Amino acid sequence: MRPKPELMNTDFPARSADPADATDTRPLLIVPYNWIGDFVRGHTVVRVAKQRWPNRPVDILVTPLCAPLVDYMPGVRRGIVHDLPRSRLALDRQRRLAAQLRAERYGTALVMPRTWKSALAPALAGIPERVGFVGEVRFGLLNRWRWGERALPRLIDKNAILALPDEAALPAQWPQPQLVVPPQEIAAWRQTTGLGTAPAIALAPGSVGAHKRWPFYAEAAQAFVADGYDVWVVGGPGEQEAAAAIVAAAGPRAHDLTGTDLRQGILALAAARLAISNDSGLMHVAAAIGTPTIGVFGPTSPWHWAPLNPLAAAIQPASLRDTVMPYHSVAARDDDSYIRSIPVSDVVDTARRVLANLAAAS
């Protein structure tokens, strides 16, 4: 088993005023959303929970896709990997998962998703405290209800507030997610892949829906190679066609690193000098690692969907730059005119400016 990274200190939120929280040692289970970006956001919940309950081991329920992220999450004891399908109940699998949870003797489960299915295994496992917002008539599955979800503006607000005491006020700022990738692991990865030591820019051209996929990464890659950088294309199997086009356009200094293993993408993003990503899970991964990251947004609002970690830059369509946030519903999901309106020069010039600032600061 690889050593777990240590949780970086944070002074937010304040320690609980309840002395019982400081002495509680019962294991805690977090049931997060398991889309990649939302799972990374879930580390904020871990940080809030560890401030409130410093002596409770924290485990997190995770899909096989997101499981590699757990290895780099400080404060998480282990990931409980499950293979529950999204589209059906799969009661036998729920029962097997419940038996596994029961053996861990969790005292509390924080259930982020509002679905009936997400609360079933913790209830079958008999976890004494099952905390979540009212949703999908989950009476009997949850027993520590929270109300007022609709008044919370962002998904992170709805999730992280579950780790605070009842009736706690929404804070002005949440602690940022952290992914800690050891430098020696990055060096070993570069050696194993034969990518050498040249400075690289990682490109993440994928996202859910064409309306969020900027179509000009190949042209940007050509410019970066001309500037002396290697280009690494990261993503899943769905990005292999885009990666092939980028590599064909940019030449031998461009490399296709897409595939089914998320760890490959994590390490590439950690090793890169700069990451450029659509509004996607990999944007959250790169930002949580601490790699300078440029987010390319089409019809989705950076205020709602950008990482809590600061971006080096957020690029938006010119027609939406002065829109009072939020504007996440201004365009239909099949309308790619916003993302296509962002010219190559906006992304390339921004990347050059960020790289120049990094060089001047080093």
Q: What is the pLDDT of residue 327?
A: 47
Is the pLDDT at 104 greater than 50? The verdict is yes
What integer is the mean pLDDT of 187-205? 96
Pairing outcome for strands 129-133 and 108-111: parallel
pTM of the predicted protein model: 0.93
162 touches 156 (CB < 8 A): no
Is the pLDDT at 240 greater than 90? The verdict is yes
Q: What is the pLDDT of residue 320?
A: 78
116 touches 94 (CB < 8 A): no
Is the pLDDT at 248 greater than 90? The verdict is yes
| Distance in angstroms (rounded) separating the CA atoms of residues 38 and 17 | 29
Q: What is the mean pLDDT of the chain?
A: 92
Distances (CA, A) of 353 to 228, 294, 338, 358, 360: 15, 11, 23, 9, 11
| Distance in angstroms (rounded) separating the CA atoms of residues 201 and 80 | 33
Is the pLDDT at 129 greater than 90? The verdict is yes
Q: What is the pLDDT of residue 90?
A: 86
Cα of 101 vs its chain's centroid, Å: 24
* Percentage of the residues of the chain whose pLDDT score is greater than 70: 92
Residue of 219, 203, 223, 177 whose CA lies nearest to 296:
203
Residue of 6, 13, 175 whose CA lies nearest to 74:
6
Burial class (CB in 10 A: 0-12, 13-18, 19+), 155: middle
Q: Name the pLDDT band for 12 (thresholds 50, 70, 90).
A: low
Burial class (CB in 10 A: 0-12, 13-18, 19+), 356: exposed
Task: Give 258-277 pLDDT, tens digit per residue.
Answer: 999 999 999 999 999 999 99
Cα of 231 vs its chain's centroid, Å: 22
Residue of 338, 345, 339 whose CA lies nearest to 278:
339
Q: What is the pLDDT of residue 302?
A: 87
Helices (H), 106-239: 116-124, 155-160, 183-193, 217-226
Q: What is the pLDDT of residue 176?
A: 97
In this structure, of 28-42, 175-189, 316-330, 342-356, the range with the lowest mean pLDDT score is 316-330
Residue corresponding to tokens 């709805």: 158
Task: Give 287-333 pLDDT, tens digit per residue.
Answer: 999 999 999 998 888 888 899 999 999 999 988 776 655 545 544 45
In this structure, of 14-28, 214-228, 330-344, the range with the lowest mean pLDDT score is 330-344
Number of C-alpha atoms within 13 angstroms, CB side, residue 181? 24
Domains of the chain (ranges plus CATH)? 19-163 (3.40.50.2000), 183-361 (3.40.50.2000)
Residue of 325, 316, 272, 310 whose CA lies nearest to 296:
316
Q: Which distant-in-sequence residues (6+ apart) come within 8 Å of 326 by Cβ?
A: 153, 301, 303, 304
